[in-house]
């Protein structure tokens, strides 16, 4: 999931070659960040129903980030999801649906950026 965000950031960087598209680049970057935060909110809200290995992997990924600011932002998003009212009602099925919804949005953004850079 973080590698997909890195791919989006790469696509945004490639798109930056044209100065006329700077507003689009900025909007796409904010959208990529917002979607990544949204994914971490969902993962946090699902912590209680996820297998322990998955929770450990998420925490290891957060600890292993090279950008402390990004890691803090994602940790805050994760904790917001974990303490949200929705966390008390999540099931594996609803978690899967929620994650899939965000991933589809991330893929749509990646596709949109791909079309603009080709």
More confident residue, 10 or 43: 43
Mean pLDDT, range 14-42, rounded to an integer: 77
pLDDT in the model for residue 6: 56
Residue 110's pLDDT band (boundaries 50, 70, 90)?
Answer: confident
Give which of 62, 108, 109, 68 is closest to 81, Cα–Cα.
62
Token pair of 8, please?
Answer: 């989006």
> 100 or 12, which is more confident?
100
Interval 32-76: pLDDT, tens: 889 999 999 999 999 999 999 999 998 888 888 788 888 899 999
């Amino acid at each position: 999931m973080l590698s997909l965000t890195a791919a989006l950031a790469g696509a945004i960087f490639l798109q930056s070659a044209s100065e006329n598209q700077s507003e689009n680049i900025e909007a796409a970057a904010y959208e990529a960040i917002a979607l990544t935060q949204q994914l971490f909110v969902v993962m946090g809200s699902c912590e209680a129903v996820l297998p322990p290995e998955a929770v450990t992997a998420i925490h290891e990924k957060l600890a292993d980030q090279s950008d402390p600011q990004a890691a803090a932002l994602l940790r805050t998003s994760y904790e917001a999801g974990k303490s949200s009212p929705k966390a008390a009602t999540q099931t594996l099925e609803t978690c899967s649906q929620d994650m899939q919804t965000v991933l589809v949005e991330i893929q749509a953004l990646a596709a949109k950026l791909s079309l603009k850079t080709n």
